[in-house]
Each structure stands twice: as structure tokens, then as C-alpha cells.
Amino acid sequence: MVTRKRRTVLCTWEVGGELGHISRLSAIAKVLEKAGYRVVVALKDLSRAYPFFTGTGITLMQAPVWLPKITLQRPIACQADSMLLLGYLEPDPLECQMLAWRALMDVVQPDLLVFDFSPTAMLALRDYAIPKVVVGTGFAEPAPGGPLADWRPTPFNDDLVARQEQRVLSVINQVLTRRGEAPLACLADVFRADLTLIGNLRELDFYPQRPKTRYCLTASPTAEGQMSFATTGQPRLVAYLKPAYPGFAQVLAALTQVDADVIAVCPMAPPGSLEKWQRPKVRFTRDLVNLPMLMTHADLFVGHGNAGTVRESLVAGAPVLVLPLQLEQLLTGLRLQNLDVGRMLEGEPDAAAIASAIQEMLLKGSEYRSAVRGLLANYEFPHLDMPDQVSAFCSACFDENPAQ
């Protein structure tokens, strides 16, 4: 009897600093492992991966990353700007990164690729004749064949984005030409794949007209920790907060001032930083918990505008108060406000301003929830599940059998 080796799926994450990338790939990898595939996950940051992959047979590897710190003299305006900061300024460093991805490819020898914010991996491996899947939030996954989105909160009528795209495209095509490969017609063609899965609402996608795209709204919990609200009859608030937020202490203080039952999840909070804020109706935890389940009982979610938690909150029917830490979150907050399903506080609001915004949103809860229901009415139920969609795509590619 001939023993057939299992099919291998390589999942990659190359750019970004949010736990959402690890969480998303962890959920996908676990479903694929359960389906019988050999799964290898190459991550930009392994330091925070342990709780997401412990107890599995998934192979973890370090992804090739760009280490030099480069800054622009102005705010980032588009994806081309971010790529310039990640090794796309000159051909030689870019080609080195591409060679590293190809070397990793030779070691793993995958039968299918899943990319999460991995532009250089996609560029390096675009000519490999194996199925490719792109997963993300719609922010950093441009629609192939089209222009890049303008990330500026107030876009200007200038040609900055087009000029930056051409600058990066020129460097890429220099590398491709000397390698004897066909040049790209536009930068977004780097992100061409057989299937694109967006874990977000189309209304929050920066490229809502993209082809071959499925919007996956079902939450895929990556933590099993459980918490429940202590009281009944009062509004319920869930918060997911990071100590990197400049007004972290102000948010904690605000949560103690509102008339609500509060559960705040702060996984990266330093030891000893939360205890003084504990109250009978205000509880904090550093443990990872099942946020999607908790949100089904919430009247309001307070967070930084991460696409994953925003989606989970809206699907659960709760509006969102955004306290942004970075550009994508700021732009998400603006869109939520325009859709009347959330509110954003920019800058560094004090505790009184944050508490006031929370109370106002709780008082207008029925209006917000009505707007959320109207938004969700655009999507068929049951919602698509991203890990299941990846697994089904693998099955279709491999004739339903993980073994060759």
C-alpha cells in the first residue's frame, strides 16, 4: 500500500502590528488542521503567537521581515507609502526579501497559499502555479487591476497616490525584469489571487467593487475564556483596550463613571495597572476571552476600531465607540459615524469626554441598534465563516481529499 503525504497549506503574515492577523490565521489554521491538512504558518511576530496555537500540531515559522526603520516626512497617504517603508525604496533590498520568501517556499513546499497582509510574499510567489487565497479586512488588499485607495482622512484633489504607486511599481518592475519575469501593469496586481475573503462588511471595505470576493461576517473565536455580566436591568458595555492608547488611564477612569455594567478586556495591560479601577459593576481582565460571545449580550462596544472587533460588535447588534490608535482605525471610525452605527473620539479625550460619549450612545441605543440592523439586512444569514470558506476552497482544489 502506498502512503500518500498530506497536502500542505502555508499561511503568511508579513505586515501590521495588530493581534487580528494572528487571530485570523490561527482560526483558519485550526480548521485546516482538523480537516486533515498539514498547516505551516509563517508569522511576522512570533512573540505573541503562543496562546493562539498552543495545543495544536501547526508548524510555526518566522516570516521574512523588513527591519530598518524608515519614516516619511508627511503622514502615510496610501498603500504605496507603506510599502516604501518596508523595503520597496530600491531594487536590491526588495529582491533579497523576495529570495527569502522563495527559500521559505522551497522548505515548506506548500500546495496552497493563504496570504494575510503579505505583499512581498505575494510578489515573490505570484508565478508559482498553486492556488492562492487572500484574507484581510479590505484595508490593505487592493483590487487587482485598479488604483490604490487614498488613505488620507480628507483626500485632496492631487496626484500624490498615483505618483507614489508609480514609484513603487518602478522598483518592483526593475526586480522582475532582471529576473526575467513579466512586469506588473499596476501595483494592485501584486494582490491577485484565486479567492479573496474579507472579514468585514462591504460598507467598510476600501475596495467594495473588487471581484471574486466573499464577505465573511461570522466570528471565529480564538479564545475560550468566558466572562458574564454581573447585573440585570442596566446597560451592558464591553471594552477591548490597549495600554498603548495615549489616554489608556483616562478610558479606565471613564468606565468607572458611567451608569452601566462594564467588562473591559485588556490583554496587554501591565501587572498592577487595572486593580485600582475595579468596581462591583466594572471588571477588568488581562486574559483572552471569547469576545464574540460576550458581545451578544452588550449594548455598546468600546474599542480602538480594529476591523475584527468592529465586525463582531456590529454582527452582535451593538454600536461601536472608536478610540483610534492608528490610521486604519481612524478611517474605520469615520465610516462608522457616516453609517450612524458608531462614533469616534479623536486625539486624547479626557475621562469626562469619554464618559459623556458613552452615556450619550447608551441613551440613543435604540437608534444605533436600528441602524445596525439596517446595515446587516444587506447580508444573507447564516453569514459566511472565513475558516470554513478557506477549507471548502482547499477541498475544491484537492478533490475533497487532503491527501494526494
All structural domains of the chain: 8-216+384-397 (3.40.50.2000), 236-376 (3.40.50.2000)
Cell, residue 273: 495597572
Contact 65, 136 (CB under 8 A): no
Q: How far apart are CA 139 and CA 237, in angstroms?
A: 27
Length of the chain: 404
Cell, residue 310: 468592529
Per-residue pLDDT of the chain (404 residues; tens, 9 = 90+): 444 578 999 999 999 987 889 999 999 999 999 999 999 999 999 999 998 999 999 999 999 999 999 999 999 999 999 999 999 999 999 999 999 999 999 999 999 999 999 999 999 999 999 999 999 999 999 999 999 999 999 888 899 999 999 999 999 999 999 999 999 999 999 999 999 999 999 999 999 988 779 999 998 776 677 888 977 789 999 999 999 999 999 999 999 999 999 999 998 898 888 999 999 899 999 988 899 999 999 999 999 999 999 999 999 999 999 999 999 999 999 999 999 999 999 999 999 999 999 999 999 999 999 999 999 999 999 999 999 999 999 999 997 555 55
pTM: 0.92
Pairing state of beta strands 132-136 and 112-116? parallel
